[in-house]
Structure 1
Amino acid sequence: MRLTFRKHAPLPVEPGTAGPVRVDPRTKALTKRLRPGDIAVIDHLDIDRVSAEALVACQPAAVLNAARSTSGRYPNLGPEILVAAGIPLVDDLGPDVMSLVEGRVVRVIEGAVHDGDTVLAEGVEQTTATIAANLEAAREGLSEQLESFAANTMDYLRRERDLLLDGIGVPDISTVIDGRHVLIVVRGYHYKDDLATLRPYIIEYRPVLIGVDGGADAILEAGWTPQLIVGDMDSVSDKALRCGAEIVVHAYRDGRAPGLERVAKLGVDHVVFPATGTSEDVAMLLADDKGAELIVAVGTHATLVEFLDKGRSGMASTFLTRLRVGSKLVDAKGVSRLYRARISNYQLIGLVAAGLLALVVALASTASGQTMFGLFGARFDDLFSWVGSLFGGA
């Protein structure tokens, strides 16, 4: 009996990308529960670099944005990072897309969001070409943002002059900083790579480790324990808050502190630092006021685009804070390039000893080496006998 095999036509492949939606207007909060294959639904005007890198790390099937990923205010890098990673990005879907039910399975086809045959929302799918055009248009409007940034900077200087110039309002803390190096970790650009590069520096200098919100978790993940945690406590884990670090809650100037209730519920000791700027500014001002010899910054904001990436006028405070502590402040990337771990005397002695031992073993394995060691042994016996005869005669 002859068996015959029939070739079946391949099953049709459905177009687009499908997956369950995960919805949150705050990208930072969404990435905590986003899983590979999910479809991220956000409402993020001008997706910044840090948010894009966090989304890429979660490996979503697609990103749906209710807002415009590049508004034209400044050349933000987030959309380019997402598309370069092969993640479909659909823009300007409108606020209604935020009402999608969590976990609902949808299909994204050429900028449209489908539920079966029903089109739920339509937007603009970003490509390399559209992103390049958006960035070019954004660069033309950058001068307007510079003027706005300068105005915000002067406004902040007027409101926080006493804090910036005289340190008035900085709370007392128990952590000893005077005369020591301080390492401030913010979950910003390449913070993991920079923290790994600084490992020899941390081992040798033992700086005071300050985590700014989620930066405390980054320190724990790297195998260290922070001495101070500074921030509004919106992205730091309970594990970090309970690790034994001193807690400094960043509050608004009017006394409101959104993170105070959470810290109080955990029952951990804390102090409150009212200030207008960002939490990383508060950490730098605190370290400087308490006498830090050197402040090393990981993941903090240094360039104009990084300032604008935060999308709020408060970044003017970061600019002025860097001017305030500039003589002590070093970016982590600079340290990693300039710093080289020094070899201690003990390490040098160990290295020489290991080399001599290897030489002895190599010589002992040869006939000439064995002869040489035999002659050395005979000479040593003669010397020992001579010394013994001197003391014996005496």
Structure 2
Amino acid sequence: MARISEYRNTLLPLIIRKIPRMIEAHLQDMERNITNFQEAIGDIHEYAASLESVYVAVATMLFESEKEYKKCIQQIEEDGYEVGVYFGEVKEMNREVVLQLTHSIRTNSFGYVCDLINQNVPDPETRSLLTSRFVDILNTRFYGYINGFLFAKDKMITHLHNQKISIMGQMAAGMAHEIRNPLCSIKGFQQLMRQMAADRSESMGDFLNYIDICIEEITKVENLVSDFLLLARKNDTQKNRWETINLNELFKKVYHLSAYFVLEGSLDIRLSLPSVNIFVRGIPSYIEQIILNITKNSISAMDSGGVLLVSLSPSADGKQVVLTFADNGVGIPERQLSKIFDPFFTTKEEGTGLGLCICKRLIEEMNGSINVQSKEKEGTVVEIRLPLVTSHK
């Protein structure tokens, strides 16, 4: 054991001088094998500095006494565990990056350090002991790192599972509530109709009116179930129905229909379209549904009158189309803004709370995004972005 300490002053400086080259080789390896590695790792300089301190600590451990070495081994496993948790929980790295990263660190450092040991330690026993220690250190840190990473991922999966169960419970409760209301109406009117049929004291006109109400309530249930199934289906099931859509023409058509929602003189809808037609890929009926839903929300937010500005334009980079709906209605309270896309969340007396949730789902299916900004008592701006089709038949 005394032989190892003899090499501290000669071999340790040589290993430390090689550390920048080890890190450089590791980073090149990761850039070559992992797409968007810098994005996954974050600050590359901070990562390199952290790795350098680890390499220095590992190199120093090689020359410790047996007692100190055992303490260091335990510490390096704990350090590896913490790093694994950090990369799994905070950085949210995937398994491929983690395995490639640990493999690259081990293989690159092993090659450089073992070459230096073989070149500078003539005694076979000491050379074997140093090599064995280095392998032991690398494996111990690797196991600690992987255990920490797996713990973080297991914790994340458990959290997502609990979150999913919670959302399913909320949706089930909302669904039950929304279905129960029309069913209660149907049951009540059916009881009235039964009584009317028994004593024949009411006119046939009232009887038919009750039937119409029952049909209307059943239609509400049908629509609710259809919306719920729309949320539940897989994202790619409708792509075969996609077609190229002229948004200019579609907007004109939809806003002709929107006129029926507006009381004369109470609200002004101003539509701004570009002189050049804009095209996207999707399902026309779904885009109509999105436009009508957001328009109706804006109208209901301006029940005392106001202006809804609707515009259609290409984005600055020419890759997207931007649909903007800006109203000066009552606005959305800040505490509610984060919930507006949640299933069954609504502040309206009448409404299922599925409208915006479905809009978001349909927009994301078309590789788009939706953003809502609102200020209470000032109004709301909804911005939708969809991929722009530059060539079409």
- TM-score by length of structure 1 reads 0.22
Q: Which has the higher strand share?
A: 1
Find the structure with the greater CA-based Rg.
2
- TM-score by length of structure 2 reads 0.22
Q: Which has the higher helix share?
A: 2
